[in-house]
Structure 1
Amino acid sequence: MTGAPTRVFIARLAGIAVFDPAGDQVGRVRDIVVALRLGPRPPRVLGLVVEVVRRRPVFLPITRVTVIEADAIIFDGRLNMRRFEQRASETLVIAEMLDRTVRLRESGERVMVVDVAMEPTRTRDWLLSKVAVRRTGGRGRGLRRRGESLVVDWDAVQGFSAVEHGQGAAGLIAAFERMKPADLANIVHELPEKRRTEVAMALDDERLADVLEELPEDDQIEILGKLEADRAADVLEAMGPDDAADLLGELPTEQRERLLTLMEPREAAPVRRLLTYPDYSAGGLMTTDPVIVPPDATVAEALAQIRNPDLNPALAAQVYVCRPPTATPTGHYLGTVHFQRLLREPPPTLVSGIVDTELEPLRPTMSLESVAMFLATYNLVAGAVVDDNGHLLGSVTIDDVLDHLLPADWRETVMDAGAEAGGGAGTDPEEEALRGIEGTS
C-alpha cells in the first residue's frame, strides 16, 4: 500500500472521504470491520464500511485500499455495491469497541476504550495494534489517576469479546460529531438495539431530537420508550412541534398524556393544538413556529430572523406579517413576504409595504392533496395556515407534505434499500475469501 502510515487511529477515520483512482469521491468512511481472534492475538482488519449513494453502506476490503491520509482514503477503483451486512464473526470498531470497559491484563484495572489503532504488517495485512484507554478509577494495583489516558499494546488488555451492558457512547458520538442529523440517524438505525439505546442515552437533548426527527417511526417509539419520562419530555420539547405531535400521536393515550403533562406548558400547548387536527390535513401537517414579524418590522429585521442557522430552509423562504401577538395563534394575518422580495428591498423598508396580500392562505381543514396542489400551483415551498377569524395558526412546508405523500415506511426504505446502480451486484470472490477465512479463525 503506497502512502500507508505506520499507525492509524481508527476513530479519526470516521467521516473522511473515499476516492477512486480518478479522484472522484465515492463515499465516506463509516466504520472499520475486524475479526477478533482467540487469546491475545491482535484482530485482523478486514475492510472499511463506506457509505455511498443514498446513505447505503458497502464493504471495501482493506486489500483494495492504496492510500490512507489524514483527510482522504484512496482505493483501486473496484467496489462491490452490494449492501454491507455484518456477520456474526465480525466486529465494528467505532460502533462496538469505542466506549467499552476492558481490563489491563497486568493490573486488572478497569479502563475505558477511547480509540483503537491499526498498523500494517510486512505481509501487507492490517492488524489492530494499540488501544487508547482512559482510566476510570476501577480497582487495580499501582498508582493511577482517574481520567488519565494512555496507549497500550493490544495484548495488554482483555474483555473485548465479552457482552457489556451499559456501555457508553461518547466515543462513537464524537467520531460522528460533524454529521448531519439525517446521516447520524442512518447509523443509529442500523445499530443493534442495545447500542442504539446507549447512543440515545449519550446524545444531548437537542441532538437526539434532531436525530429522532429523521428516524423511522418504529425507531422513534423504541428510543423514546427507553428514556426516563422526564428526559423524554425534554427531548420532545426540543423537537419541532409538528414532529413531536406526529410522534406522540403514535403512542398510547395514557403515555402521550403523561409526557404532555411533563412538558413545559408553553411547549406542550402548540403540540396539543396540533394533535386536535387530522393527520392528513393542513392543521395536522403544519408547524406552529414559522417566521412571524409585525407590520412595523423592517426588511433588515426580517432578514435577521431568517438567517437563523437552526431554521428549516423551507420555513426561511417566507416571512408572515401579522398584527400582535406574533406567537401562534397570532393577531390578524396581513400576508406573506417572500425571501427573494426581501433581498430586493432596502434594509430600512417596512415589511408592511411589500407584503403579498393576493396569495390566499391555507385553511386548517384542507386535505393533504389540496395542500400539495396549492404549493405546486404557486411554486411555493411553504404556505400560511389561517383560521376563519384571520389568525395565523402555522405554516405547512413542502418537506412535511412529501413526508405524508410518500409511503409510511419511506424513511426505513431509504435506509435499507440498495442503490439502483449496484443493486444487482453479485458475490465478490476476494471479499468472500477475506471475510470467510477470518470468520473461521
Structure 2
Amino acid sequence: MSSVGTRVFVARLAGTTVFDPLGDQVGRVRDVVVLVRPKGAPRAVGLVVEVPGRRRVFLPLTRVTAMDPGQVISTGLVNMRRFEQRAFETLAVSELLDRTVDFIDGTGSATIEDVAIELQRNNDWVVSKLFVRRVVPGHRGLLRRRGETQLVAINEVTGLARAAGQQGAELLLAQYEDLKPADLADVLHDLGTTRRLEVASALDNDRLADVLEELPGDDQVAILRGLELGRAADVLEAMEPDDAADLLGELPDEQVAELLELMEPEEARDVRRLLAYEDNTAGGLMTTEPVVLGPETPIAAALAHVRRQDLAPALASMVFVVRPPLETPTGRYIGVVHLQRLLREPPHEPIGSVVDTDLEPVEAGAPLMSVTRQLATYNLLALPVVDADKRLLGAVSVDDVLDHLLPEDWREQDDEPGGTKPVPPGPRHAARPAVGRG
C-alpha cells in the first residue's frame, strides 16, 4: 500500500505498466482523471488504463494498492467498459499539461509541465504541486519555454479550472511520440473537441496525415475544418490519395474545390480522379500510388522500391509491371511480380522475365464484393485496377476493402480482451458516490 505523503508526477506516470496482485500485466497508464473544484485542491479519482485491444478503461484509485513511476499495482478487478470522460472531469496529461496559470502574488504567469498528486491520510489523492515554467513577457510559442522552472503549491496559482483556450500540446505529444498512428488516433478520439484540434494542430503535416487516416470520418472532418486552409491542403497532400479523396467526399463541394486549388497540381490530379468514382467500386477503393515499374527493371531495383518505409505492407507485397509511361494511368498493364518471387531470383534479372500474367485485373467500375471475392479467392493483399484499354489506374489493397466492409464505427468497437479480471458493468466507482460518480 502506498504510504501517506507519497507523491507521484503524472507525466512520469504516463506509460507505466499496471499489474494485478499476482504480477500479471493489466495494461498501461495513459492519463489521470482529476476533479478540479472551485475550492480546495483538485482531487485525483482514477487512472485511464490502456488494456489489450487498445481499449482505454477507467481504474478507480480506490482499486490501486501501490503507485509510483515504475509500476502501478491494482486489486486485479477492472471494469472493461470503455472509458468516457464526463463533463466535470479533467484529464491531467491531456488537458492540464501546457495550460497557462497565473501566480496569485501577481508576479506573472507560467505553463504547467507536470502535475504532482499526493496521497492523503483519508486515502484521497489530491493535486498538491505543479511543476511550471514561467512565461517570459514578450516571448511566445516555444521561446516562452526559456523561463525558469519551479515547483509550486497548488494554492500559489490560479486559473487551473478555466477553459484552456489556445493551449499548447508539446508536452502531451511528448508523452505519445512513440505511438503508432492508429494508437495516437485513439488518443485524439478520446479528447474533447477543442483539445483534439489543439493537439492535431501541433502535429507536423506527415504525422497528422497518418493519424487522420486512422480516425473516424466525423473526427477527420472536424479537424480538417479547424485547420487554416493552406495547412489543410498541405495535410491532404501528405495523405494517401484514396484517403484524401474519402475525406474530401465528406465536405461541401465549394470547400472541396477550394482545397484542391490550394494543393500541388500533381497531388490534386490524383485526388480528382478518385473523386470521380463511386465509393463502393474498385476505382473508389484504389490508391493511385502502388509500386509500378517497367519490365526491364532489374530485380535488385524492384526490391529497393518495395523497401520504402512509407509503403504500406499490402502494397509492398507485389510490383505492378507496365509499359511506359509508369505514372498512373500507365501504359498497357503486363502483370505483377510477387515479393516472394523477387526474393528467390537472381538480382540482375529483369522483372519482366518473372512476371505473373495470370492475375486478372479488375476494371474501375467493379463492385466492392467482386473485388473482395477476387482478393479472397487468390489469397492476395492487393489487386490491379485497369481501364477499358488495360492501362493501370491503381491498386486496391486488402486494408482498403476492410475499411469499407467493416461498420462505420468499427474503430470504437472493442473485442473483450483477456488476461484481466473484469467486473460487471456499472458505475466506475464502487465507493465514494458523493464524488459525483455513481
Question: Is contact 1:383-1:395 (8 Å) kept?
Answer: yes
SS at match of 1:178: coil
Write out aligned runs for 1:282-297 (5 A).
282-297=282-297
Cα gap change, 1:395 to 1:4, in 2 (>3 Å): farther
Task: Report the Cα distance in structure 1 between the residues aligned to 2:84 and 2:311, rounded to whole angstroms.
Answer: 36
Task: Report the Cα distance in structure 1 between the residues aligned to 2:264 and 2:364, rounded to whole angstroms.
Answer: 25
Write out aligned runs for 1:307-326 (5 A).
307-326=307-326
Task: Report the Cα distance in structure 2 between the residues aligned to 1:189 and 1:122, rounded to whole angstroms.
Answer: 36
Measure how far apart 1:30 and its partner are. 1.8
Greater mean alpha carbon deviation, residues 61-70 or residues 270-279: 61-70
1:213 aligns with 2:205: no
Q: Percent same amino acid among aligned pairs? A: 55
Measure how far apart 1:226 and its partner are. 1.2
Which digits, 9 at most, give the CA deviation of each residue in 1:314-373, with x for residues without a partner? 111111122333221223322111122222223333222221111111211111111001
> Could you say which residue in structure 1 is the equivalent of 2:434?
437
RMSD value over aligned CA atoms?
2.6
After the TM superposition, which segments of 4 or more aligned residues of structure 1 sit over 6 Å from their partners?
Answer: 420-424
Cα gap change, 1:64 to 1:6, in 2 (>3 Å): same
Task: Report the Cα distance in structure 2 between the residues aligned to 1:217 and 1:165, rounded to whole angstroms.
Answer: 25
Task: Report the Cα distance in structure 1 between the residues aligned to 2:70 and 2:334, rounded to whole angstroms.
Answer: 51
Measure how far apart 1:294 and its partner are. 2.4
Question: Is contact 2:79-2:423 (8 Å) kept?
Answer: no
SS at match of 1:433: coil
Measure how far apart 1:151 and its partner are. 2.5
Greater mean alpha carbon deviation, residues 315-324 or residues 221-230: 315-324
After TM superposition, the score normalised by the length of structure 1 is 0.89
Question: Is contact 1:82-1:425 (8 Å) kept?
Answer: no
> Could you say which residue in structure 2 is the equivalent of 1:376?
376
> Could you say which residue in structure 2 is the equivalent of 1:263?
263
> Could you say which residue in structure 2 is the equivalent of 1:155?
155
> Could you say which residue in structure 2 is the equivalent of 1:202?
202
Which digits, 9 at most, give the CA deviation of each residue in 1:227-262, with x for residues without a partner? 111111011101100000111112111111110000
Question: Is contact 2:9-2:69 (8 Å) kept?
Answer: no
Task: Report the Cα distance in structure 2 between the residues aligned to 1:67 and 1:326, rounded to whole angstroms.
Answer: 61
Task: Report the Cα distance in structure 2 between the residues aligned to 1:135 and 1:416, rounded to whole angstroms.
Answer: 42
Measure how far apart 1:92 and its partner are. 1.1
After TM superposition, the score normalised by the length of structure 2 is 0.90
Task: Report the Cα distance in structure 1 between the residues aligned to 2:3 and 2:403, rounded to whole angstroms.
Answer: 45
Question: Is contact 2:8-2:68 (8 Å) kept?
Answer: no
Question: Is contact 2:78-2:423 (8 Å) kept?
Answer: no
Cα gap change, 1:12 to 1:326, in 2 (>3 Å): farther
Write out aligned runs for 1:42-441 (5 A).
42-68=41-67, 70=69, 72-122=71-121, 124-138=123-137, 146-407=146-407, 409-411=408-410, 414-415=411-412, 419=416, 425-427=424-426, 431-434=429-432, 436-439=433-436
Cα gap change, 1:157 to 1:280, in 2 (>3 Å): same
Measure how far apart 1:424 and its partner are. 8.3
Count of aligned positions: 430
Measure how far apart 1:122 and its partner are. 4.9
Measure how far apart 1:416 and its partner are. 5.5
Measure how far apart 1:155 and its partner are. 2.2
1:20 aligns with 2:11: no
Task: Report the Cα distance in structure 2 between the residues aligned to 1:256 and 1:266, rounded to whole angstroms.
Answer: 16
Structure 2 counterpart of 1:352, one-letter code: G
Question: Is contact 1:4-1:69 (8 Å) kept?
Answer: no
